[in-house]
Structure 1
Amino acid sequence: MPALHRASTILGLTAASSLALAGCASGPGPASGEAADGAIAVVASTNVYGQLAEEVGGDLVEVTSIVDSASQDPHSFEPSARDQLTVADAQLVIENGGGYDAFIDALLESSGSEAHVITAVEFSHSWPENAGHEDEHAEDEHAEDEHAEDEHAEDEHAEDEHAEDEHADHGHVEGFNEHVWYDPHTMAYVVEEIAAELAELSPDDAETFSANADALLAEIEGLESELAQLESSFGGAQVFVTEPVSVYLAAAAGLDIVTPDAFSEAVEEGQDVPPATLLEALTLLRDGEVDVVIANAQTGGAETTQVLDEAETASIPVVEFTETLPEGQTYISWMQENIAALGEALEA
């Protein structure tokens, strides 16, 4: 797994998400799909990654987020011909991977795109290919090996893996939680990679991308500190998640996920929860084994409703998280709100 390069001294701790949403388009820009004014054309599968790209690239990028609304489900999103045109003209594409936004892989293949591609799940310590790897921050492999040897130019882009066989490996992986944007640690890697890829596309602006990334990395470190504080106060508290979207954040706060795997997996796949599993879940709530319930505000079903009703009956606090970035938010402000809401629920 690529390691994160951090400057020994990160300046600009007060630099907020000021570059945030201004250039994060809700749809393609010019009809041709080309970026205006010489900006780097970036396409993100969702507005979560689009906003991070906008933070790092600022005015030097034009970002199009294909899924940018809470009413759109990336799992089942059906792209349009215009989306294909946008991807075809992109210079950098940022996807989640792991089967979450498979429509991006289809667009890359059908459009013949030669864009650089960042796949976020590949930076997660939980990604199967990274199994057994320790945190490589200290080794600074990301700076010393991958970018110094310019592997992206020599291997991935030269061989155009995305146009050939790599997409076949981006389907859902059994047992892997693909909602990696809820893991700030993984997002720090992704931010570093965005800066590196933009610098490769526009070397003259490398210092700008690096400075913007450093400011954002400092804010992500702040999120990790807030999660560490939650762990210090509430580590070991038991939480029930209706589906896996929030698991990384809860785990980073040292919380114990008690949801039966069969429950969250069924909800995630849009399937009926087995009756025995539903009974097991409701019993956990009735027996006082759960401190907080975390639900996905964008999806649900009959079984999820039963869990939420049972939580209300048992006076168990409920926190709702979303999958896509709420309007007017930055990634940092969004995660700060989620962490704060979780802390308030744990204190209740």
Structure 2
Amino acid sequence: MTSPRRSLIVLGLAAASALSLAGCAGGTAAGDGGDGGVAVVASTNVYGQIAEELGGDLVEVTSIVTNESQDPHSFEPSARDQLAVAKADVIIENGGGYDAFIDALIESSDAEAPVVTAVEYSHDWPENEGHDAESAGEAEDHADHEGHDHEGHDHVEGFNEHVWYDPHTVAHLAEGIAAELAELDPDNADVFAANAEAFVAEVEGLEASLADIAGAHEGAEVFVTEPVPAYLIAAAGLANVTPDAFTEAVEEGQDVAPATLLESIARFEDGDVKLVITNTQTAGAETAQIVGEADGRGIPRVAFSETLPEGQTYISWMQANIEALSGALES
């Protein structure tokens, strides 16, 4: 069922689309592949940067959410964003209800570009049967736009949609993006495949760094105010002791129930929590209270973001996050 918010976005964009198309007719708009490259539109700059790594000069990438202060969960797209989606050759989204605005843009613009959906590459995705027999060439099946259900990406209960913090998923996603680029530009298929191989090798370096943390701190307890970095925490062998009700309320922008807040604060009483992790893009009274508890007890804190910081690549950003995690645990 289409959510009321998505319906409002679709209606608003549809009303603005004619004016936008007319206003941009005199120049080259973002995402129209004006120089002949494959026009890639990504919901966030995280996926946009990965596409740039894989496509290089052969792609023209438009990332819709680029600001660290913007929350993709509640992002309101513009008519210009709709135009970019309408002209895309391929679209990359997170899915799983995280960036529902991209589905609304696809619907309102009648875009026919294939869609690569990141959550579908996660082993935890309910409809994923696994990657064991999947090669880079077979990965393109994930990106098949025909029959793509844009209404099927509402939030999935029990599934953590923040899959870009899972290096293993990102490695498979990169293979899928490269396969889709090769389908669109077969003359450069070898280039895309080589770039994907190099990128995956760097992702494996991230996994090795996480394994080092697990070797030194296996089972260390951490409190995570939101589920954003949960995959990274698990890969590092750390134990997330945050009550589910706390992270769910914070992520949904709701008040944390008093009983849940008391349960959360009690986690700090035995001194076993070694680290508190927050989200740079959201804050609230309950999170501030947890931060106060951590600071009062001398527990180190690390803040992670949902979008790529300026000047970073996906690899350098994740490596910096991993180093921050390791440094805080060593302090």
Give yes or no for TM over 0.5.
Answer: yes
* Separation (CA, whole Å) in 1 of partners of 2:201 and 2:168: 12
Contact in 2 for aligned 1:286/1:310 (Cα 8 Å): no
Contact 1:236-1:256 within 8 A present in 2 as well: yes
Give the corresponding residue for 2:160.
177
Q: 1:142 aligns with which of 129, 135, 142?
A: 135
Residue 119, structure 1, aligned to residue 102, structure 2: no
Partner of residue 271, structure 1: 254
Paired residue for 2:105, among 104, 107, 110? 107
Q: Partners of 2:301 and 2:278 in 1: how far apart?
A: 7
| Structure 2: tracts of 5 or more residues without a match | 1-26
Partner Cα separation in structure 2 for residue 105 and residue 145 of structure 1: 24
Supply the AA of the counterpart residue of 1:116: P
Q: Between the two structures, name the one with larger relative contact order (CA 8 Å, sep ≥ 6).
A: 1
5+ residue gaps, structure 1: 1-28
**Whole-Å separation in 2 of the counterparts to 1:126 and 1:146:** 16
Deviation per residue, 1:154-179 (Å, 9 max, x gap): xx44xx323xxx01110101111100
Query: Tell me, what secondary structure is at the counterpart of 2:229?
Result: helix
Q: CA separation of 1:96/1:144 partners in 2, compared to 1, >3 Å: closer, same or farther?
A: closer
Amino acid at match of 1:79: P
Number of residue pairs matched? Answer: 305
Task: State the Cα deviation string for residues 280-330 of structure 1 (Å, max 9, x = none).
Answer: 111111321311111001101000000001000011110100000000000
- What does residue range 22-41 of structure 1 map to in structure 2 within 5 Å? 30-31=28-29, 33-41=31-39
Which of 148, 173, 176 is the matching residue for 1:193?
176
Mapped partners of 1:135, 1:339: distance in 2: 25
2:78 alignment partner, one of 77, 80, 88: 80
How many angstroms apart in 1 are the aligned matches of 2:240 and 2:30?
47
CA apart distance, 1:99: 0.5
Residues 42 and 92 in structure 2, CA contact (< 8 A), matched pair in contact too: yes
Query: Among the aligned pairs, what percent are the same residue?
Result: 67
What does 1:144-163 correspond to in 2, within 5 Å? 145=138, 151=141, 156-157=144-145, 160-162=146-148
Matching residue of 1:8: none
Please state if 1:325 is matched with 2:318.
no
Q: For 1:144 and 1:79, locate their aligned partners in 2 and report how far apart those are by CA, in whole Å.
A: 33
CA shift in 2, pair 1:237/1:152, >3 Å = closer
TM-score of the two chains, using structure 2 as the length reference: 0.89
Residues 32 and 69 of structure 1: CA distance in aligned 2, closer, same or farther (over 3 Å): closer
SS in 1 for 2:215: helix
Specify the alignment match of 1:18 in structure 2: none
Q: How far is the alpha carbon of 1:33 from its aligned partner? A: 4.4
In structure 1, give the amino acid aligned to 2:260.
T
Cα distance between partner residues in 2 of 1:318 and 1:32: 38
CA distance in 1, matches of 2:295, 2:120: 38
* 1:236–1:146 Cα change, 3 Å: closer
Structure 1 residues 265, 92: CA separation in 2 closer, same or farther (over 3 Å shift)?
same
Equivalent residue in structure 1 for 2:188, among 186, 191, 205: 205
Checking the alignment, whether the CA contact within 8 Å between 2:249 and 2:255 is kept in structure 1 is yes
Calculate the aligned-residue CA RMSD, in Å. 1.5
- Kindly state the Cα deviation for residue 142 of structure 1 after the two structures are TM-superposed: 3.1
- Classify the secondary structure of the residue corresponding to 1:127: coil
Question: Could you list the runs of 4 or more consecutive aligned residues of structure 1 that deviate by over 4 angstroms after TM superposition?
Answer: 143-147
Shift of 1:143: 4.6
